[in-house]
Amino acid sequence: MGRLIFISRRKLFKEETARDLPTVSKKEILEYMRRRAYRPLTEAELARVFLPGGKGAKTLNRILRQLEEEGLIYQTRTARFGLPSQFNLLVGRLEGNPRGFAFLIQDIEGAEDVFVGAENLGGAMHNDLVAVRLLPPGRGKAREGEVVRVLKRGNHRVVGTLRNRRRFALVVPDDHRLGQGVVIPRGRLMGAKNGDKVVVEFSFYPAAKAPAEGRVVEVLGPADAPGMDMLVLCRRYDLPDDFPRDVLREAGEIAAPEPGSEPAARRDFRRETIVTIDGEDAKDLDDAVSLSVLPNGRYRLGVHIADVGYYVREGSALDKEALQRGTSVYLPGLVIPMLPQRLSNHICSLNPGEDRLAFSCVMKIDTEGTVEEYELFPSVIRSRARMSYTSVRRILDGDQELTQHNRRFVKMLQRMRDLCLILRRRRLGNGAIDFNLPETVINIDDTGRVLNVGRAERTVAEQIIEEFMLAANETVARHAAAFELPFIYRVHPKPDEEKVAVLERLLAGFGYDAHGIGRLQPAGFQAVLDAVRDKPEERLINAVMLRSMKQARYAPARTGHFGLASEYYTHFTSPIRRYPDLFIHRVLREASAGDGGAAARRQELLARAAHAALVSSERERLGMEIEREATAVKKAAFMQDKVGEVYGGFISGVTAWGLYVELENSVEGLVHVRTMTDDFYVYDERTYTLTGRNTGKSYRLGDGVGVKVLRASTEDRTVEFELLTDGNIVY
pLDDT in tens, 182-220: 999 988 999 999 999 999 999 999 987 789 999 999 999
Note the pLDDT of residue 595.
Answer: 60
What pLDDT does 712 receive? 96
Give the per-residue pLDDT at 5. Answer: 37
Residue 110 burial class via C-beta count within 10 angstroms: exposed 0-12, middle 13-18, buried 19 and up: exposed
Work out the number of other CB atoms within 10 angstroms of the CB of residue 546: 13
Say whether both 425 and 519 belong to one domain: no
The pLDDT of residue 20 is: 36
Least confidently predicted of 99-103, 244-248, 339-343: 99-103
φ/ψ of 359, rounded to 5, equals -120, 120
Describe the chain by its helix, strand, coil percentages, rounded to 5: 35, 25, 40
Does residue 368 share a domain with residue 349? Answer: yes
- Please indicate, yes or no, whether residues 394 and 420 belong to a single structural domain of this protein: yes
Helices (H), ranges, 160-297:
228-236, 245-252
450 and 309, same structural domain?
yes
Query: Which percentage of the chain shows pLDDT scores above 90?
Result: 69
pLDDT in tens, 452-468: 999 888 899 999 999 99
Q: Could you tell me if 487 and 587 are in contact, meaning their C-beta atoms sit under 8 angstroms apart?
A: yes
Q: Do 292 and 429 sit in the same domain of this protein?
A: yes
231 domain residue, yes or no: no
Q: Is the pLDDT of residue 16 over 70?
A: no
- 193/298 same-domain check: no
Output the domain CATH number for residue 103: 2.40.50.140
Query: Which pLDDT band holds residue 521 (cuts at 50, 70, 90)?
Result: confident
Confidence of residue 518 (pLDDT cuts 50, 70, 90): low
Q: What is the pLDDT of residue 10?
A: 34
Both 312 and 443 in one domain: the answer is yes
Looking from the CA of 255 toward its CB, the CA atoms found within 13 Å total 5
Q: Identify the pLDDT of residue 638.
A: 96
C-alpha span between 508 and 502 (Å, rounded): 10
Convert the pLDDT of each residue in 270-287 to its tens digit: 999 999 999 988 889 999
Asked if residue 250 and residue 180 are part of one domain, the reply reads: no
CA 345 to chain centre: 22
Pairing of strands 329-331, 299-306: unpaired
Q: What is the pLDDT of residue 57?
A: 86
Q: What is the pLDDT of residue 260?
A: 60
Please indicate, yes or no, if residue 649 is contained in any of the structural domains.
yes
User: Which range is least confidently modeled, 273-282, 426-435, 497-506, 511-520?
Assistant: 511-520
Q: How many CB atoms lie within 10 A of CB 625?
A: 11
Q: Using 50, 70 and 90 to split pLDDT, how confident is the model at 652?
A: confident
Tell me the pLDDT tens digit for each residue of 659-710: 999 999 999 999 999 999 999 999 987 777 899 999 999 998 888 899 999 9
Average pLDDT over residues 8-28: 49
Degrees to nearest 5, angle at CA 648 with 645 and 649 = 120
Domain that holds residue 445: 245-478
Residues 167, 143: one domain?
Answer: no
Give me the helices (H) in 203-253, please: 228-236, 245-252
Are 360 and 386 members of one domain?
A: yes
- Asked if residue 57 belongs to a domain, the reply is no
pTM equals 0.85
Q: Kindly tell me if the per-residue pLDDT of 138 is higher than 60.
A: yes
pLDDT level of residue 224 (50, 70, 90 thresholds): confident
- Of 707 and 8, the one with more pLDDT: 707
Is residue 353 left, alpha or beta, with left meaning phi > 0 and alpha meaning psi from -120 to 50? left
* pLDDT > 90? residue 51: no
446 and 353: one domain?
A: yes
**Amino acid 520: pLDDT:** 76
Mean of pLDDT over the chain: 89
335 and 472, same domain (yes or no): yes
Average pLDDT over residues 622-631: 94
